[in-house]
Amino acid sequence: MTRIYLYDHCPFCVRASLVAGYKHVAFERVVLLNDDEKTCFDLIGAKMVPILEHDGALIGESLDICKRLDEIGDEKQIILPASGLDQQVADQLSQVGHAQWALSFPRVIRIGLPEFATEGAQAYFRSKKEKMLEMSFDDALANTGAHKNAVEQVLADLPKLPLPSERENRLSWDDVIIFPRLRGLTLVKGLEFPESIQTYLKEISSLTGVDLYFDRAI
Ligand SMILES: N[C@@H](CCC(=O)N[C@@H](CS)C(=O)NCC(=O)O)C(=O)O
C-alpha cells in the first residue's frame, strides 16, 4: 500500500506528486485539512506534509519521499540528474520570496482546494501566514500590483529552462525543485509569465499529471 498525505497547494508536496506521476506509482492521495494537526502528529510527530506511507514505513521529508518513489516506480522512467539550474532558479526566486507569498497565500484559500474545505482550515492558514507575511491578506491583495511587478522582473530574468520535449520527455531533478516553486504563481490572474516558462509549466504538468491553476486564477 502506498499513500501520500498532502495539501494540493504545498510546493513540497508537489515535488512528491511530480515524481509519483512521472514514475507511474499508484498511490492513494490523501488531502488533509490544513488544520488537521492530529493526523500529522500521529504519523510523524510533527505538523508537516508531505508524508509517504509505503509498505508500513513512513517518510516525512519531501526529497526523501521523492528518492523512495524513484526507487519503487517504473524503472524505465529515468529522472535526469540535477545540473545546478535548480539552485540558480531557487536563488533568483528567493529574492522575491515575500512578494510570491503575498500573491499566493491570500488567493490559495479561495479556489476550492480540499485542504481549505472548512472555515476552520482557512482560518488556521490565514492566521499562520499573516504572521509570516507581517501583513493581513487584505493588505497583501491591495498591494497586488507591486508584488506582481517584482515577481515579473525576476521571471523575465530566469535562465532558459530545458523542456521535456527537448530531451525525450524526461523529467530532471532540477524540475523537481523548479516546477513547484513556479506553480503557485499560476493562480495569480494576469501575472505575465514569459512564453518559454508557460511552455515549461505546461509540459511538466502534462508529463506528470500535476495540474496548474491558470483556469482558476484570481
Ligand atoms: N522540510 C519539509 C518541509 C515541508 C513543509 O514545510 N510543509 C509545509 C506545507 S507547504 C507544512 O506542512 N507546514 C506546516 C503547516 O502547514 O502547518 C519537506 O521538504 O518535506
Mean predicted confidence (pLDDT) in 183-191:
97
This prediction has a pTM of 0.98
Spatial separation of the C-alpha atoms in residues 154 and 67, rounded to whole Å: 30
Q: How far is the CA of 74 from the centre of ligand 1 (A)?
A: 27
Pairing of strands 171-172, 79-80: parallel
Best residue among 9, 37, 48 to mutate for probing ligand 1's pocket (most ligand atoms within 8 Å of CB) is: 48
Grid cell listed for 51? 508524508
- pLDDT, residue 65, reads 98
- pLDDT, residue 135, reads 97
Residue type, 182: L
C-beta of residue 204 within 8 angstroms of C-beta of residue 212: no
Grid cell listed for 16? 512528491
- pLDDT, residue 193, reads 97
C-beta of residue 121 within 8 angstroms of C-beta of residue 15: no
For residue 65, give every residue at least 6 positions away whose Cβ sits within 8 Å of its Cβ, in sequence order, or none: 4, 15, 16, 19, 50, 51, 52, 59
Helix (H) or strand (E) holding 171: strand 171-172
Grid cell listed for 34? 490544513
Q: How far is the CA of 177 from the centre of ligand 1 (A)?
A: 14
Judged by DSSP in three states, 181 sits in: helix
Bond from prior residue into 159 cis (ω within 30 degrees of 0):
no
**Ligand 1 pocket, Cβ-based, cut-off 6 angstroms:** 10, 12, 47-50, 61-62
Spatial separation of the C-alpha atoms in residues 211 and 8, rounded to whole Å: 10
Query: 56-77 pLDDT, tens per residue?
Result: 999 999 999 999 999 999 999 9
- pLDDT, residue 134, reads 98
- pLDDT, residue 9, reads 98
Mean predicted confidence (pLDDT) in 111-138:
98
Q: State which ligand 1 atom lies nearest to the alpha carbon of 11.
A: 10
**pLDDT confidence of 192, banded at 50, 70, 90?**
very high
- pLDDT, residue 194, reads 97
- pLDDT, residue 129, reads 98
C-beta of residue 177 within 8 angstroms of C-beta of residue 80: no
Domains and CATH numbers, the chain: 2-72 (3.40.30.10), 85-216 (1.20.1050.10)
